[in-house]
Structure 1
Amino acid sequence: MSAGTTLPDDAGTVIVGAGCVGCSAAYHLTRLGREDVVVVDQGPLFETGGSTSHAPGLVFQTGGNKLMTRMASYTRELYEDLESFRTSGGIEVAYTEDRWDFLKRKRERGQAYGIENGELLSPAEVADRVPQIDESVIRGGYYVPTDGKAHAVDASATMAETARAAGAEFYGETTVTDLDVEGGEIRAVVTDRGRIEADEVLLATNIWGPLFGEMVDVDIPLIPCAHQYLVSDDLPELAGASREIEQPLLRHQDRSLYFRQHGERYGVGSYNHEPLLVDPADIYGPERLEDLGLEYPSLREFTAEHFYENTHPDHEGAAYDAACELVPSLRDAEFESGINGMFCFTPDGMPILGPTAEIDGLWWALAIWVTQSGGAGSIVAHWMEDGVPRLDGERVDATGAHISRFQPHAGSREYTRGRGAQQYQEVYQLIHPREQPRGQRGLRRSPFYQRQAELGAEFYDSGGWETPQWYGTNESLLEEYDVPDRPDWLERNWSKAQGVEHRAVRDRVGMVDMTTYTGIEVTGDSATALLQGLLTNDIDVSPGRIRYAAMCNEDGGILADVTVARFADDRYVVFTGGGNSATLHSRWIREHAPDDGSVSITTHDSSMCGIGVFGPEARNVLSSLVEADLSNDAFPFYTAQESYLESVPVTMLRLSYAGELGWELYTPMEYGAQLWERIEDAGEEYDIVPMGWKALDSTSMEKGFRLWGTDVTPEYNPYEAGIGFAVDLETDFVGKEALLEARDGGIDRKIAPITLDEPGMVVDAGHPVLDPDSGEVLGDVARADYGYTIDAGIAYAYLPAADAEAGRDVEIGYENERHPATVRDEPLFDPDREKMIR
């Protein structure tokens, strides 16, 4: 509708942003039955001036993780159905041997996540499809024939027309000036053309997201930045080419470049320059847009120095030289046009999706490329309508994109700009999964940090916490423990100290920093009722007992697996993991709590620190220190007590994620230094070792313990995840109906432990599990490591139920080879739990 049309006074749902994400959300909401949807945008429909308007629309479907890959595949299928997609295929070339090995793994990741017909090409085979390249400078390519180009503006218009036919209304040239919030609820969208009362508002404003956050005092960790795109004049090799039939898209990621055909001309996209960050306040509102004098507000003047000179911190040559090396005829070409086009990055490179914690009815869908736009619209529409994120109606793990994943420091301008710039700088680089960010480090340190540094700790960033993965000093024990080597890629950013620590905790005793674990304290008259209604297990147990339970959404998907300790009739502590667990899981509990004051919820995400003491000598180490009787009779397995370790007050849980005898001990942060010192000193007699999280991860895999975020996610229900024992259907909880249906209908897939048959072989997550005879993809590896006690590589994967039985022969694809493996019963270690209860 035109700018002259009068705005409605009210609407059920207002979407701000009529780019491809906003239009996708409107399209999917109306398909789900909503009629009262209004979409507004500051620009003209549907070439609104945001990133959609200038985006080249490249859809390379194989993303960095399952969520991004699934969203891209859905986008391709949707836009193809809407006749707004041109299938050309896509090729990513390898300039270095490292990249060639990476492309082998990437192809396997695509297989694992449902990308069919991907293949590896020789340099000559790449040149057959893209004749203008110099095949001598590459080692090969990864080709997906169903990749292609999305016509983002056309797709937006087509989705909008479908939504209009179902009752939605669209208004261009309408600038939002404020969001009206009252009593913790969104009330209205205020524009330069009037006010629209609204029950719900979805902000699909991409590069302008932080400005809308400022309107409602919500931090949106996102930074706009620009990258370059140029189009050459006619190339001889493309003479006579049709605009309707295009060569495959091309990526040259070793030099941060991509290419696409424009008939007889060739387009070059470059990230091969320093980050060009933009303040969103400089590009919003009619006055500022007029001052810019550019076609779109998401454009900047082309800056030649960033193309013809080397400004990228990690590259040696300029983008122009790298482009000409791969496509030599560009040396003789003129570039008819060039832009600096904006898009945006979050600190972790993932989108921002979901509802605002502080404001009911306010939703976000930001930091989304055209590649994932159709899928993002489907997820957020289902989330808004059904209360659960789904992709095309199916369960999906959107945790990595959830707005509540960010920790408090992420709202700072310095952090957002620093990490956003790093994400831009590395977007096409070959980044190892264990490679850690360099900037904005050391923000959250436990009281043990200084001592851990002295012990040679390798710190990983986990929600801002510096979390030890292994200790360099333990490499001195390699004379005592034989630890197998790893293949080249998997050996990087890794230490044999992991294997030493794994073996040592089985033989004697280890101490693990558990500070990132979060205790969510729930107290009050309604505490039992609240938790009973959220957790799958019966937690109405006697004080001192611990229960293991899942927390599910309405679809039965697992939001968390937790241990719950009851300390009094009206007091519980729910212990969950680190990283974003503190914000995500505590938010879910708070949102379901009664508002009558009968429950108090305290999240101990920074006020408590903890140490796990695990191993056969754990009781001996702690007995001389703590007041509590640590005998089996007085302190049995899966119980909790509050006591003192010398003068330090401690909350003690009798459990062990390592699968050994052990206790977790938590204390207020200020007592932490004493806690570490006392345990370390007492443990010296028993050769205690500091143990990092990598060893805790591998010991837990041997024991069959799950890890939320890898093998336990909202994509799976407890029966599929093998934790059905923690479901008590005699209680009522969120997701019960879905679990009853799942139980009665039978489980089609379930998790299974797999061991690799080759001695010393280990793989990584994200690789396909294959049928040895047909090569059919049976599932994907959700979690993998080496089991140093059982002396075999371990992979956990979700497989069809018929293929998840022990003894089934399978293969796992890794770097273009297929490795024989066998499905096993679990646990792989100590099946009778003798070590934990001794």
Structure 2
Amino acid sequence: MSTGTTIPDSAGTVVVGAGCVGCSAAYHLARLGREDVVVVDQGPLFETGGSTSHAPGLVFQTGGSRLMTRMASYTRELYADLESFRTCGGIEVASTDDRWDFLKRKRERGQSHGIEGGELLSPAEVADRVPQVDPEVVRGGYYVPTDGTAHAVDAAATMAERARAAGTEFYGETTVTDLEVEDGEIRAVVTDRGRIAADEVLLATNIWGPLFGDMVDVDIPLVPCAHQYLVSDDLDELAGASREIEQPLLRHQDRSLYFRQHGERYGVGSYNHEPLLVDPADIYGPEKLEDLGLEYPSLREFTAEHFSENTHPDHEQAAHDAACELVPSLRDAEFESGINGMFCFTPDGMPILGPTADVDGLWWALAIWVTQSGGAGSIVAHWMEDGVPRLDGERVDATRAHVSRFQPHAGSREYTWGRGAQQYREIYQLIHPREQPQGQRGLRRSPFYGRQDELGAEFYDSGGWEMPQWYETNESLLEEYDVPDRPDWLDRGWSKAQGVEHQAVRARVGMVDMTTYTGIEVTGDGATDLLQRLLTNDIDVSPGRIRYAAMCNEDGGILADVTVARFAADRYTVFTGGGPSATLHSRWVREHAPDDGSVSVTTRDSSLCGIGVFGPDARNVLAPLVEAALSNDAFPFYTARETFLESLPVTMLRLSYAGELGWELYAPTEYGARLWERIEDAGEEYGIVPMGWAALGSTSLEKGFRLWGSDVTPEYDPYEAGIGFAVDLETDFVGKEALLEARDEGIDRTIAPITLDEPGAVVDAGHPVLDPDGGEVLGYVSRADYGYTIDAGIAYAYLPAADAEPGRDVEISYENERHAATVRDEPLFDPDREKMLR
């Protein structure tokens, strides 16, 4: 459609944004059968002026997570089919030993998530593929031959052309000025050329996302940020090079740089400068764009000082000097063009996808780079059409990209800009998974925080909560408990206190802060019917009983695994984890609750605090304090009581994520400080230890208890995740039809416990499980740690069902070494549950 054409006054779906993400979504919606779709953009089609217009188009497929890697791989395949992708390979180089070890691990993560052909190169092999590189500067490289460059504008135009063939209409130079919402539903998109009534609206506006959030009073934690890209004049080393044949892409993350060939010229991209944040309000709308006087609204004037001077807080070398060190031929080069081009960051560096919680029909697809653009469009289109996120029709775990993962503080400018700047600084930095952010900390503290700090707690940030991982005071017990050393990378951000706490809770008793757990109270005459419809297990049990269940989507993918306590005929509490659980899982319950007033849903994420008391002496510690009798007969396993601990009202659950005798105790937050004091005092004679979440993780791994987000995700159904025992097909619940089909067809893959054969050995999650004979990748490790009770390294991995039989010999690749391992029966610890039931 031409710019001058009158826009329609209504559409079934309006997509705002005609960059590669919006066009990908429109294209995939058309493929799924939608015909009444309209796409609008403030810029000309299809070089609209957003990030798509200036993106260098690098597609390095191996991302930082399974989701990002899968989206990138799909994008490469899609754009190759659209003839908008050039396969030239990609090399990431290492100039330090740390980075070289990292690239070994990165290659293995790529293998785990389906990247084929990746290999490690020597310095000479790097220079063979990119001759202008000085091999003396690098330790080696990670090479993926199927990486390459996407022409984002061409890809957007081609996807739009194919969507048009199915009836989709595109309108450029159409600025959205408002979004109309009525009775909690999206009604229309208002533009400077008229109003378009709509049933659904997808906002694929990237750097302008927060402005659209303001229109509907929804916080969108995202900040635009500029980085630099320059193109040199002709280099002698590239003389005679064809624009049709490119060298591999090059990424020098130790110096926050990347490179790509442009015929006889060389492009340099730099994050090697201070964060250059931009307010989206300064770059939206025709008048603002005219004032900027730049080619695209997503550009800023090139600032030479950020290339020639060292302004990055973590580097000791300016971008220009670092680029010339790796590519000496750039020393005498002139740079004929340079831009400060914008993209955006969220506080956690992940995209924003999915439907708005409080506005039906309003969808988001933001903070997405060209690298993942095709895959993001597929996911959000399936989500809109089918009700569940899918990638090319397959189940996918989009939880970490869900728009509802953010906690309330993420809506503040200070938090979003502070964490956004940090994400920019660290995008190419070698950040350990356990390394914690320094800014925007201490926002949410349990009532135990002061005492935990006195005990030397190492706090991790989780959804703003300060979560103790271990306590330095417990290192004094190392004479009592043996804890194996760990190799360099796995030793960082780790303490032997974890091993001490693990063994101490098995031998005596420990107390762990469980305040981040969320209680979702479901009450009313319709409470039982609602939870029966949402959960896979039969929760119509007598008051005082607890059930373990999965909560699934329509595909049978696991949205959550929860424990449900029934306290009365019309009153339940669903207990789920911390972090995004409070928002994601409670939202799912609320959205499925009837509108007739028969059910009330209350999320108790901050108004409750919790302490787990686990270990052989747990009963001895608690019995003198609480009014309820704690014998097996009076308080059996998997039951709940509302009682008092001295004068403190508490809800007690007889269960233990550590796999020991124990109870979880929850109380209103204002009683928390006293609750900790009394349990700690009563436990002194039994040698009670404060226990961090690291030890809780390793004890639960020994016991085979699943961890949401690692072992159980929407990518897997309960049978694949090994929790089919929590599925009661005599009840009707969301996802039942998919699980019936899965049961009848049998499972092709399943999770299985693996132990490492070498004494004291330990690996990390994300690494491939190999066939020891041919080296074929069988699956990947979803979770790993050391089992201090069984004295062996443990890895839980998703494997083909035929390879998950106990006794099967396998290998796990870690830092380019293959570790012999064996598939085992589960659980590895206390298979008869004698510890928990005593």
Q: Which residue of structure 1 aligns with residue 522 of structure 2?
A: 522
Q: Which residue of structure 2 aligns with residue 576 of structure 1?
A: 576
Q: Which residue identity does 1:573 align to in structure 2?
A: T
Q: Which residue identity does 1:207 align to in structure 2?
A: I
Q: Which residue of structure 1 aligns with residue 291 of structure 2?
A: 291
Q: Which residue identity does 2:129 align to in structure 1?
A: R
**Which residues in structure 2 correspond to 1:542-557 (within 5 Å)?**
542-557=542-557
Q: Which residue of structure 1 aligns with residue 615 of structure 2?
A: 615
Q: Which residue identity does 1:715 align to in structure 2?
A: E
How far did 1:198 drift? 0.3
How far did 1:215 drift? 0.2
Q: Which residue identity does 1:627 align to in structure 2?
A: E
State how far apart, in whole Å, the 2-side matches of 1:773 and 1:560 are. 37
1:57 matched to 2:52: no
1:346 matched to 2:315: no
Q: Which residue of structure 1 aligns with residue 490 of structure 2?
A: 490
Q: Which residue of structure 2 aligns with residue 470 of structure 1?
A: 470
Q: Which residue of structure 2 aligns with residue 81 of structure 1?
A: 81
Q: Which residue of structure 2 aligns with residue 279 of structure 1?
A: 279
Q: Which residue of structure 1 aligns with residue 773 of structure 2?
A: 773
Q: Deviations over 1:492-523 (max 9, x none)?
A: 00000000000000000000000000000000
Q: Which residue of structure 2 aligns with residue 113 of structure 1?
A: 113
State how far apart, in whole Å, the 2-side matches of 1:502 and 1:322 are. 46
Q: Which residue of structure 2 aligns with residue 411 of structure 1?
A: 411
State how far apart, in whole Å, the 2-side matches of 1:470 and 1:197 are. 55
Q: Which residue of structure 2 aligns with residue 509 of structure 1?
A: 509
State how far apart, in whole Å, the 2-side matches of 1:595 and 1:762 are. 51
1:426 matched to 2:426: yes
Provide the secondary structure at the position in 2 that maps to 1:740.
Answer: helix
Q: Which residue of structure 2 aligns with residue 379 of structure 1?
A: 379
Q: Which residue identity does 1:774 align to in structure 2?
A: G
How far did 1:547 drift? 0.2
**Which residues in structure 2 correspond to 1:694-709 (within 5 Å)?**
694-709=694-709
How far did 1:71 drift? 0.1
State how far apart, in whole Å, the 2-side matches of 1:495 and 1:125 are. 39
State how far apart, in whole Å, the 2-side matches of 1:317 and 1:755 are. 44
Provide the secondary structure at the position in 2 that maps to 1:199.
Answer: strand
State how far apart, in whole Å, the 1-side matches of 2:819 and 2:134 are. 34
1:714 matched to 2:718: no
Q: Which residue of structure 2 aligns with residue 34 of structure 1?
A: 34
Provide the secondary structure at the position in 2 that maps to 1:52.
Answer: helix
1:176 matched to 2:176: yes
Q: Which residue of structure 1 aligns with residue 144 of structure 2?
A: 144
State how far apart, in whole Å, the 2-side matches of 1:264 and 1:648 are. 75
1:561 matched to 2:565: no
Q: Deviations over 1:803-824 (max 9, x none)?
A: 0000000000000010000000
Provide the secondary structure at the position in 2 that maps to 1:430.
Answer: coil
State how far apart, in whole Å, the 2-side matches of 1:778 and 1:408 are. 41
Q: Which residue identity does 1:567 align to in structure 2?
A: F
Q: Which residue identity does 1:312 align to in structure 2?
A: H
How far did 1:750 drift? 0.5
How far did 1:429 drift? 0.4
Provide the secondary structure at the position in 2 that maps to 1:533.
Answer: helix
Provide the secondary structure at the position in 1 that maps to 2:798.
Answer: strand
State how far apart, in whole Å, the 2-side matches of 1:303 and 1:112 are. 41
Identity of aligned residues (%): 90
Provide the secondary structure at the position in 1 that maps to 2:534.
Answer: coil
State how far apart, in whole Å, the 1-side matches of 2:608 and 2:3 are. 55
Q: Which residue of structure 2 aligns with residue 822 of structure 1?
A: 822
Q: Which residue identity does 1:619 align to in structure 2?
A: R
Provide the secondary structure at the position in 2 that maps to 1:751.
Answer: strand
How far did 1:457 drift? 0.2
State how far apart, in whole Å, the 1-side matches of 2:597 and 2:530 are. 12
Q: Which residue of structure 2 aligns with residue 461 of structure 1?
A: 461
Q: Deviations over 1:43-95 (max 9, x none)?
A: 00000000000000000000000000000000000000000000000000001
Q: Structure 2 stretches of 5 or more lacking a match?
A: none
State how far apart, in whole Å, the 2-side matches of 1:576 and 1:532 are. 17
Q: Which residue of structure 1 aligns with residue 241 of structure 2?
A: 241
Q: Which residue of structure 2 aligns with residue 153 of structure 1?
A: 153
Q: Which residue of structure 1 aligns with residue 755 of structure 2?
A: 755
Q: Which residue identity does 1:86 align to in structure 2?
A: R
Provide the secondary structure at the position in 2 that maps to 1:2.
Answer: coil
How far did 1:722 drift? 0.4
**Which residues in structure 2 correspond to 1:315-354 (within 5 Å)?**
315-354=315-354
1:788 matched to 2:788: yes
State how far apart, in whole Å, the 1-side matches of 2:632 and 2:771 are. 46
Q: Which residue of structure 2 aligns with residue 358 of structure 1?
A: 358
Q: Deviations over 1:113-137 (max 9, x none)?
A: 0000000000000000000011101
How far did 1:3 drift? 1.5
Q: Which residue of structure 2 aligns with residue 669 of structure 1?
A: 669
State how far apart, in whole Å, the 2-side matches of 1:512 and 1:293 are. 58
Q: Which residue of structure 1 aligns with residue 71 of structure 2?
A: 71
Q: Which residue of structure 2 aligns with residue 219 of structure 1?
A: 219
State how far apart, in whole Å, the 1-side matches of 2:358 and 2:760 are. 50
Q: Which residue identity does 1:398 align to in structure 2?
A: A
Give the RMSD, CA atoms, in angstroms.
Answer: 0.3
Q: Deviations over 1:263-288 (max 9, x none)?
A: 00000000000000000000000000
Provide the secondary structure at the position in 1 that maps to 2:48.
Answer: coil
State how far apart, in whole Å, the 1-side matches of 2:489 and 2:785 are. 14
State how far apart, in whole Å, the 2-side matches of 1:133 and 1:796 are. 41
Provide the secondary structure at the position in 2 that maps to 1:378.
Answer: helix
Q: Which residue identity does 1:714 align to in structure 2?
A: P
State how far apart, in whole Å, the 2-side matches of 1:448 and 1:809 are. 45
How far did 1:387 drift? 0.1
Q: Which residue of structure 2 aligns with residue 308 of structure 1?
A: 308
Provide the secondary structure at the position in 2 that maps to 1:211.
Answer: helix
State how far apart, in whole Å, the 1-side matches of 2:405 and 2:753 are. 29
Provide the secondary structure at the position in 2 that maps to 1:213.
Answer: helix
Q: How many residues align?
A: 838
State how far apart, in whole Å, the 2-side matches of 1:480 and 1:236 are. 67
Provide the secondary structure at the position in 2 that maps to 1:103.
Answer: helix
Q: Deviations over 1:429-460 (max 9, x none)?
A: 00001111110000000000000000000000
Q: Which residue identity does 1:447 align to in structure 2?
A: P
Q: Deviations over 1:329-374 (max 9, x none)?
A: 1110000000000000000000000000000000000000000000
How far did 1:692 drift? 0.2
Q: Which residue identity does 1:717 align to in structure 2?
A: D
State how far apart, in whole Å, the 2-side matches of 1:330 and 1:800 are. 50
Q: Which residue of structure 2 aligns with residue 252 of structure 1?
A: 252
Q: Which residue identity does 1:20 align to in structure 2?
A: C
Q: Which residue identity does 2:323 align to in structure 1?
A: A
How far did 1:739 drift? 0.2
Q: Which residue identity does 1:396 align to in structure 2?
A: V
Q: Which residue of structure 1 aligns with residue 806 of structure 2?
A: 806
Q: Structure 1 stretches of 5 or more lacking a match?
A: none
State how far apart, in whole Å, the 1-side matches of 2:646 and 2:314 are. 52
Structure 1 length as normaliser, TM-score?
1.00
State how far apart, in whole Å, the 2-side matches of 1:34 and 1:630 are. 59
Provide the secondary structure at the position in 1 that maps to 2:670.
Answer: helix
How far did 1:2 drift? 1.6
Q: Which residue of structure 2 aligns with residue 729 of structure 1?
A: 729
State how far apart, in whole Å, the 2-side matches of 1:25 and 1:155 are. 12
Q: Which residue of structure 2 aligns with residue 440 of structure 1?
A: 440
Q: Which residue of structure 1 aligns with residue 232 of structure 2?
A: 232
Q: Deviations over 1:547-584 (max 9, x none)?
A: 00000000000000000000000000000001100000
State how far apart, in whole Å, the 2-side matches of 1:189 and 1:464 are. 34
State how far apart, in whole Å, the 2-side matches of 1:496 and 1:217 are. 47
Q: Deviations over 1:120-159 (max 9, x none)?
A: 0000000000000111010000000000000000000000
Q: Which residue of structure 2 aligns with residue 130 of structure 1?
A: 130
State how far apart, in whole Å, the 2-side matches of 1:817 and 1:237 are. 37
State how far apart, in whole Å, the 1-side matches of 2:713 and 2:465 are. 22
Q: Which residue of structure 2 aligns with residue 541 of structure 1?
A: 541
Provide the secondary structure at the position in 2 that maps to 1:86.
Answer: strand
